[in-house]
Copies of this chain bind each other. A is one copy, B any other.
Amino acid sequence: MPRPRVHSPDAVLDAAEDLLVEHGRAQLTIRALAERSGASNGSVYHAFGSLETVVAAAWLRRARSFLTLQRAAVDEALAAGDVRRAVQAAADAPARLADDDLRAARLLVSLQRDDLLTGAVAPAVAQDLRALDATLATTLRDLAHAVWDRGDAAAVDGVTACVVRLPAALLFGEIRAGRVRAHTRARLTAAVGAVLDCGPPS
C-alpha cells in the first residue's frame, strides 16, 4: 500500500514534550518541532493537521496516565472506607506522578488545560480531551458524594478546591523545579484537610 512512516507520531510528541518542558509553549513552533524531531514541516502537518493538535495530543497522552494513577489512589482509599484520605490522595496525585515519571508531571504542569481547546485542534483529539474532562469530573463528583453525600455544584466545587486548586498552588512550582519536598506534601495534606472541614458552600 502506501509509503511507510519514517517519523512516528509518538516521536513527534516526544520532541514537543521536550520543547514544552524546557522552553514553554511559546517556544514550541512548528520550525523548532521539525528540527527537534527530525520530521519535516509537511510530515507534522500531514500527521496532526495543526500545531495546536500536537500540543493537545502531547498533553492528552500524559493526562491519561495521570488520571489513571489518581483514580487508583482514590479507589484504594474509598475501598478502605477512608473518605478524607481519598480526597487527600487525589490531591497528592501530582506529587506521586512526579515520583513515578517526572517528565510526565512536568509536561502536565507546563500547560494550562484551559488553553488547549482553541478550535484549531483536530476533532478526534478534541473529543478525547472532552472525554478526559468527563473522567475527572466523575472522580470529583464521586468524591463529593463520598465526603458530603452531595453531588451538586457547590459540593463539587469544594472538592475541586482540594483536588485541583490547592495542588496547583503548592506542588506545581516544585514539579517545575524538578523536586517535590516531603514537607510540601505534608502542607498540602494539611491544607486539604482544613478546606474539607469548611464544608461545602451552603
Residue of B nearest to A168 (CB): B169
Additional A-B contacts beyond A165-B169, A183-B201, A190-B198 (16; CB < 8 A): A161-B169, A161-B170, A166-B166, A166-B169, A166-B170, A166-B191, A168-B169, A169-B169, A181-B201, A183-B198, A187-B195, A187-B198, A190-B197, A191-B191, A191-B195, A194-B194
Q: Does A9 contact B (CB under 8 A)?
A: no
A173 within 8 A of B: yes
Write out the residue numbers on chain B whose beta carbons fall within 8 Å of the beta carbon of A181: 201
What count of chain A residues pass the 8 Å CB interface test?
21
- What is the CA–CA distance of A170 and B161 in the complex, to the nearest angstrom? 7
**A130 to chain B: closest CB distance in Å?**
21
In the complex, whether A186 has a CB less than 8 A from a CB of chain B is: yes
B186 touches A198 (CB 8 A): yes
**Separation in Å of the A116 CB from the closest CB of chain B?**
15
Q: Which of A194, A197, A202 has the most chain B CB within a 10 Å cutoff?
A: A194
Task: Judge if A193 is at the interface, Cβ distance under 8 Å.
Answer: yes
- For A197, the chain B residues whose CB sits under 8 A away are 190
Query: Looking at chain A's contact residues, is the secondary structure mostly helix, strand, loop, or mixed?
Result: helix
| Residues of B close to A195: CB separation below 8 A | 187, 190-191
Shortest CB distance A153–B (Å)? 13
Contact residues in B for A193 (Cβ distance below 8 Å) = 194
User: Can you pick out 11 interface pairs between chain A and chain B where the beta carbons lie within 8 Å of each other?
Assistant: A161-B187, A165-B169, A166-B166, A169-B169, A181-B201, A183-B201, A187-B194, A190-B195, A190-B197, A191-B194, A194-B194
- Give 5 closest A-B pairs by Cβ, nearest first: A169-B169, A194-B194, A190-B194, A191-B191, A183-B201
Bound form: Cα–Cα A190–B195 in Å: 6
